[in-house]
Amino acid sequence: MNKLVILDRDGVINEDSDNYIKSPEEWIPIPGSIEAIATLNQAGFIVAVATNQSGIARGYYDVATLEAMHQKFLNLVKQAGGTIAHIAFCPHGPKDNCNCRKPKIGMVEEIEKVTGLSARGGWFVGDKWADIQCGLNAGCQPILVKTGKGEMTLKNHASDLKNVTLSKNLKHASERILLDI
């Protein structure tokens, strides 16, 4: 069984905003998400993050600010008894035609290289259609959470999501993953 779990960030781990998350102060975990990551780790899962961060390309924040947000996140996960194997991020905008922006799988390939694990057969948890597509494109088992943009994704892509696991939030998704052990 594949023990790799890849998570989207905004809307899955932390609260999302249509105005972007632009500072560590605005980076607020969704209740239960940090503990869910620690629980997955304690069950032997390797957890990584793949996140589109076009706010960098748009000039809303810089890489140093993104790293400060991620340090806050990593500290919270560590305090809960967990760890994140790698955070892959795409700093490009939607029109940059890069290989890393979801639904393309460049970030998944980066995670595979860093962790030495194949994503094929692993889990990919997201709240946006691009997350689900990325997971499918990489051969993962996608889970759509209803937090963040999840409800809107479900409404707009219901017919495309027939074979995708749905979860209330990351805590619920982690419980679903643990049932598969």
* Residue 181 pLDDT > 80: no
Residue 21's SS3 state is coil
Catalytically annotated residue among 10, 16, 127, 131: 10
127 is catalytic: no
- Residue 18 annotated among the catalytic residues of the structure: no
pLDDT value at 162 more than 80: yes
- Summarised one tens digit per residue, pLDDT across range 38-65 is 999 999 999 999 999 999 999 999 999 9
For the stretch 97-154, pLDDT in tens is 999 999 999 999 999 999 999 999 999 999 999 999 999 999 999 999 999 999 999 9
77 pLDDT band (50/70/90 cuts)?
A: very high
Strands (E), 42-171: 46-52, 86-90, 123-126, 141-145, 165-167
Residue carrying structure tokens 């088992």: 141
Which CATH number fits the domain 4-179, given the four candidates 2.60.40.10, 3.10.129.10, 3.40.50.1000, 3.20.20.100?
A: 3.40.50.1000
* pLDDT given for residue 2 in this prediction: 83
CA 114 centroid distance within chain: 16
Q: What is the mean pLDDT of the chain?
A: 96
d(CA 79, CA 165): 29
Per-position b or e across 108-124, b if 16+ CB within 10 A of its CB: bebbbeebebebeebbb
